[in-house]
Amino acid sequence: SVTVNNQGSYMALVPEGANFKATSYNPDGTVYARFDQSGNVEYYTYDAAGRVVRVEDQYGNILKTYEYNKLNN
């Protein structure tokens, strides 16, 4: 089950050994963060064009970076 508190935070009770992933979204619909059953969190940062440029873990470690050319590649 998933419960939302009055600050919009989520709490979930997940059976041991179950796979669980959750996604939190920004108001513009882009992904803010992804969470898994092990407590891992990935936070997403975007450029002015709305493209992902960096993914960090819950400790601020950079997991991935992306660069784009004029063709969005």
What confidence tens digit (pLDDT) does each residue in 57-71 have?
Answer: 999 999 999 999 888
pTM, entire model: 0.74
Sketch the domain layout of the chain as residue ranges. 17-73
Distances (CA, A) of 14 to 5, 18, 22, 51: 17, 7, 12, 32
Q: Give pLDDT, residue 5.
A: 56
Largest Cα–Cα distance of the chain, in whole Å?
A: 46
Q: Which of 26, 53, 24, 29 is nearest to 41 (CA)?
A: 24
Q: C-alpha 62: how far from its chain's center?
A: 13
